[in-house]
Amino acid sequence: MGIYWVRERYAAGQSVFREGDWGEDAYLIEMGKVDITISRNGEEVTIATLQEGEMFGEIALVDRLPRTASVVVVEDCTLIPITRELVVSKMKQSDPLLSHLLGVVVSRYRETREGNPTRARTAADESSLRLRDYAINQLKIAQHLSDALVRDEFQLFFQPIVHLINGRLAGFEALIRWNQPDMGLVSPLGFIGVAEDTGLIVPIGRWVLKQAIATMATLQTAMDQRDPDNKGLFMSVNLSAKQLQDPGEVDALIGIIRDSGADPRRIKLEVTESALIDNPVLVKMYLTKLKDLGLMLAIDDFGTGYSSLSYLEQYPLDTLKIDQSFIATMRARTSSQRITRAIASLAYDLEMNCIAEGIEDEADIKPLLQMRCQFGQGYHFAKPMSEAQALDYILRRG
């Protein structure tokens, strides 16, 4: 990430900020001296003098409460502001435990300084409490996630993908679920990020692929009974960017597919645009390796990421999945409809197929067909379901 260190200059006597001000930056003193003062019984008391290389205002980076001290320049200063935005983005990449601890330390520090730990909560406190709840929850998830595989707490659900033209079943997307005994059913949105940060996504991803392939065989057998003409059901499996960054991992995934004896042409891997951005040369090599095996490759959530069109040519892709946010607002917003149309025709022109995600309303089908989008997925057709329910779905309707 590029950081542009801007500098602010202050003359002796100038105030940088005052106690009670709202501010979101900390400052590093590159040159000069400042006094840190607090008011006690109406009097301004200097509690520290800071110089070159020291930092002040750092608490505002962690929470959103007014400044607890004033800062006055005593010798002409050059200051480097460190923005909250930068720190928040760094914290998001860090261990949730670390950011939570940091939050606790800061709030204890404030309470001691203010000498009033029982004061009424402000809106800013509420927001830092929510942040704390989030951090604690992420922590719990990280703790329990490492045991989840051995405890057999994961389950795959399967959502039908259909031919829009006739509603016929084309395949399924495998979607992971976590039945955590204490926390209940945890959405993948709540734990995939933690799994990526902790590296657990690698063993979890292998498990998903294995299970999805096994279920694919079961579902195809059922389909053979119900409608012997519908031979080519496919199974779509989500791949995280992390799984594509490790050469050994791609070989492991290939090993799983080979060992399963499944027809690779019936397996589709879904990757997001962001997975293609880091290490594009390596990722291209891995995707080509997977493609050479006969697998199908899809770009998931297309239109929400970088949408850099050059990669559509560079990577051996079969499918664009139009993100559900465009489909959801397609009828209400012309802009969404135009974007959907543009993505569908891009897919068509590049000889890729196209899946509209998140179809909740029958009225969306006709315009999508007019846009030459062949496949659909969404609650209108079916919600994600267990393997048993998916079997039942096939036997009932084919």
- Residues 294-333, one symbol each (x = binds ligand C2E by CB under 6 A, - = not), give ------xx----------------------x---------
Q: Report the nearest approach of ligand C2E to the CB of residue 132 (Å).
A: 25
Single out the residue of 187, 308, 335, 370 in contact with ligand C2E (rule: CB under 6 A).
187
Q: Which is nearer to ligand C2E, 61 or 186 (CB)?
A: 186
Choice from 358, 368, 374, 375 touching ligand C2E (CB under 6 A)? 358
Between CA 50 and CA 36 the distance in angstroms is: 8
Residue 11 three-state SS: coil
What is the helix, strand, coil percentage profile of the chain, to 5?
45, 25, 30
Q: How far is the CB of 278 from ligand C2E (least distance, A)?
A: 15
Residue 378 near which of Ca ion, ligand C2E, none (CB within 5-8 Å, type-dependent): ligand C2E
User: Hey, what are 345's tokens?
Assistant: 């025709």
Per rule CB under 6 A, is residue 353 in the interface with ligand C2E? Answer: no
Binding mask 242-281 for Ca ion (x = CB under 5 A): ----------------------------x-----------
Q: Which of 59, 161, 208, 262 binds ligand C2E (CB under 6 A)?
A: 208
Both ends of the chain: CA-CA distance in Å? 50
Should residue 301 be labelled a site residue for Ca ion when binding is judged by CB under 5 A? yes
Residue 218, token pair as written in the block: 């079961």
**Residues 353-372 interacting with Ca ion (rule: CB under 5 A):** 357
313 burial type by CB count under 10 A (0-12 exposed, 13-18 middle, 19+ buried): exposed
Which of left, alpha, beta for 374 (phi over 0: left; psi -120 to 50: alpha)? alpha
Query: Does 189 contact ligand C2E by CB under 6 A?
Result: yes
Q: Which stretch binds Ca ion (CB under 5 A): 232-240, 249-257, 331-339, 345-353?
A: 232-240
Give the burial class of 346: count Cβ atoms within 10 A of its Cβ; 0-12 exposed, 13-18 middle, 19 or more buried.
middle
Binding segment for ligand C2E (CB under 6 A), chosen from 132-140, 275-283, 291-299, 371-379, is 371-379
Interacting residues with ligand C2E between 251 and 280 (CB under 6 A): none
Q: Is 176 in the site for ligand C2E (CB under 6 A)?
A: yes
Among 128, 238, 240, 319, binds Ca ion (CB under 5 A): 238
Which helix or strand (DSSP H or E) is residue 15 part of? strand 15-17
159 binds, among ligand C2E, Ca ion, none (CB under 5 to 8 A by kind): ligand C2E
User: Is residue 300 close enough to count as binding Ca ion by CB under 5 A?
Assistant: yes
Q: Which window, 88-96, 110-118, 333-341, 373-381, contacts ligand C2E (CB under 6 A)? A: 373-381
Closest approach, Cβ 306 to ligand C2E, in A, equals 16
Report the partner that residue 364 touches, choosing among ligand C2E, Ca ion, none (CB closer than 5 to 8 A by kind). Answer: none
What is the secondary structure of 329-391 as a DSSP string? TTTT-HHHHHHHHHHHHHHHHTT-EEEE-----GGGHHHHHHTT--EE-STTT---B-HHHHH
For residue 315, give the nearest of 284, 345, 273, 272 by alpha carbon.
284
Span near Ca ion by CB under 5 A; candidates 88-96, 301-309, 334-342, 344-352: 301-309
Residue 140: Cβ-neighbour burial (10 angstroms; 0-12, 13-18, 19+): middle
Contact, 45 vs 64, CB < 8 A? Answer: no
Q: Is 238 in the site for ligand C2E (CB under 6 A)?
A: yes
The partner in contact with residue 281, picked from ligand C2E, Ca ion, none with C-beta cut-offs of 5 to 8 angstroms by kind, is none
Token pair 């135009």 in the structure block, residue: 338
Q: What is the CA radius of gyration of the chain?
A: 27
Residues whose CB falls within 8 Å of the CB of residue 387, separated by 6 or more in sequence, listed in order: 156, 158, 215, 218, 219
CB of 304 to Ca ion, least distance (A): 9
Which residues in the 125-164 window bind ligand C2E by CB under 6 A? 159
Backbone phi and psi for residue 362, each to the nearest 5 degrees, phi listed first: -60, -30
Report the interface residues with Ca ion, using CB under 5 A: 238, 270, 300-301, 357
Report the interface residues with ligand C2E, using CB under 6 A: 159, 175-176, 187-189, 192, 208, 238, 240, 300-301, 324, 358-360, 377-379, 384
